[in-house]
Amino acid sequence: MKYEHIVIPKFGGPENLLLTEDELPQPRANEVRVKVLAAGVSFADILMRKGVHPESWNLGRIPFTPGWDVVGVVDKLGDKVTAWQTGQMVAALPIVGGYAEYIILPSDELVPVPPGLDLAESVSLVLNYITAYQMLHRCAHLKLGESILINGGAAGGVGTALLQLGKLAGLKKMYGTTSNDKNDIVSNLGGIPIDYKSVDLIQEIIRLTSRDGNGNQGVDVVFDGIGGKSLKSSYEILRSGGRLVAYGGTPTSDPEDWLMMFTLNLVPDKRNFMLYSIQTLKRLKPDWFHEDLVLLLDLLKQGKINPIVAARMPLNQAAQAHELLASGSVRGKIVLICND
């Protein structure tokens, strides 16, 4: 039996996302074959395709199938697998292999998905909402009544997740940088949009937070998805005791940027800087990933979160999906539908 999957034969542009047909793989003793129903498209996939993401350096092989996050149904069990049943809906963060009709995964990598949930909304939780939830609660340890700034992509997949989960956490103020044409998304989710193209970010935050009347300008936490020189501005926006969480930025080649990143924590002013990596934390604390995804799926089932799905596209349009995401026009999450 044959199956289709996307293959990247060499690092480069979206034209290197090739639809390929191969023999359907068989699971080994402790593995499960999953029929992929939905696969998320993320900036991490784009960085992997270009060969500039740390995980692409760790691959050690070309070609490979991209795809960080999937939701699907258990199709076949390895001989020693007893925890799952065929036909059961599951989610996983494989990092590679998601852009496919089928994927083989270790049985302990799977998380059950409650029946009746929208597949595209469910897969939005696996990478975007886990990232947002863990940055809020596992890294920054948000407290009731604090304020945050999302610096970069507040209307994107992780940004909208931060706004929704931040509102549930009882944050006092949420600011988000975005382009002017996406202000409505940030506003509708309870945030205060900041047009990064038309204002000085530091001065704008000082102006907005001065309205609080408590004499404590700045915000408690900044989530910086840009990286590089943006981190310095994000750090300066913090109040005393504030936390800067950097995530998802393109690695910089400027030595001065790296020096700045590593010296921020040396400033004795009670502000903290930390780097968040979903795959690193998952490898260090796999129970946290499982626990947090189960919690988020329950919030989705209760209707307390509402992932924004920007587009649902067939597997053979993976290249177009990458082009669309890179255009900067996307509101929410792009999802590939890998099987009917």
Domain boundaries defined on the chain:
2-125+280-337, 144-276
Among candidate residues 36, 3, 35, the one with its CA nearest the CA of residue 20: 3
Residue 261: pLDDT band (50, 70, 90) is low
Among candidate residues 339, 55, 306, 318, the one with its CA nearest the CA of residue 168: 306
Alpha carbon distance 298, 308 (integer Å): 17
What is the rounded average pLDDT of the residues 141-166? 95
Whether residue 250 has pLDDT greater than 80 = no
Residue 58: pLDDT band (50, 70, 90) is confident
Residue 265: pLDDT band (50, 70, 90) is low
CB 45 within 8 A of CB 94: no
Look at residue 198 in the predicted model and tell me its pLDDT.
87
Token pair of 294 as six digits: 């189960």
The count of residues in the chain is: 340
Whether residue 241 has pLDDT greater than 50 = yes
State pLDDT tens for residues 170-223: 998 999 999 888 999 999 999 999 998 888 999 999 999 986 555 568 999 999
Judge residue 144's burial from the number of C-beta atoms within 10 Å of its C-beta, 0-12 exposed, 13-18 middle, 19 or more buried. Answer: exposed
Burial 295-322 (b: 16+ CB within 10 A, else e): ebbebbeeeebebbbbbebebebbbebb
What end-to-end distance do the CA atoms of the chain give, in Å? Answer: 17
Any idea which architecture 2-125+280-337 has in CATH? Alpha-Beta Complex (3.90)
Given 2.40.30.130, 3.40.50.720, 3.30.1330.10, 3.90.550.10, which CATH number is that of 144-276?
3.40.50.720
The verdict on whether omega for the bond into residue 268 sits within 30 degrees of 0, i.e. cis, is: no
Element (H, E) at 96: none
Look at residue 267 in the predicted model and tell me its pLDDT.
55
Whether residue 119 has pLDDT greater than 70 = yes
Whether residue 169 has pLDDT greater than 80 = yes
Give the Å distances, CA to CA, from 130 to 120, 138, 336.
Answer: 15, 10, 19
